């Protein structure tokens, strides 16, 4: 167990951040899954910018690696263009 007030606060902060990161990560994964499942080009084109924005935010906050975000954005853009 932690012996300092600052260590206790750090534990609380880490828990809150872990839960928040998990929520954003899961939400983004669901959005990517939804976009991949679409077969209507118009609907997919309107959803793509919001999914790309979500991926950029996760990469900026180091929830996912920046290269993974880039790979996902590339593959999703190719998917929408092929519809």
pLDDT digits (tens, 9 = 90+) for 24-77: 999 999 999 999 999 999 999 999 999 999 999 999 999 999 999 999 999 999
Mean pLDDT of 15-24: 96
Domain extent for 60 = 41-83
Residue 18 confidence (pLDDT): 96
Q: How far is CA 58 from CA 6, 18, 23, 43, 50, in A?
A: 27, 13, 11, 23, 13
| 76 in any annotated domain | yes
Q: Is the entire prediction scored with pTM above 0.75? A: yes
Residues 6+ apart with CB under 8 A from 46: none
Whether the predicted pLDDT of 3 surpasses 90:
no
| 58 in any annotated domain | yes
End-to-end alpha carbon distance in the chain: 55
């Amino acid at each position: 167990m932690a012996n300092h007030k600052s260590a206790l606060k750090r534990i609380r902060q880490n828990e809150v951040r872990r839960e928040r990161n998990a929520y954003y990560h899961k939400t983004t994964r669901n959005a990517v899954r939804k976009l991949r499942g679409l077969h209507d080009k118009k609907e997919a084109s309107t959803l793509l910018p919001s999914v790309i924005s979500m991926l950029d935010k996760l990469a900026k906050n180091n929830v996912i690696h920046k290269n993974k975000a880039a790979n996902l954005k590339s593959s999703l853009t190719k998917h929408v263009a092929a519809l």
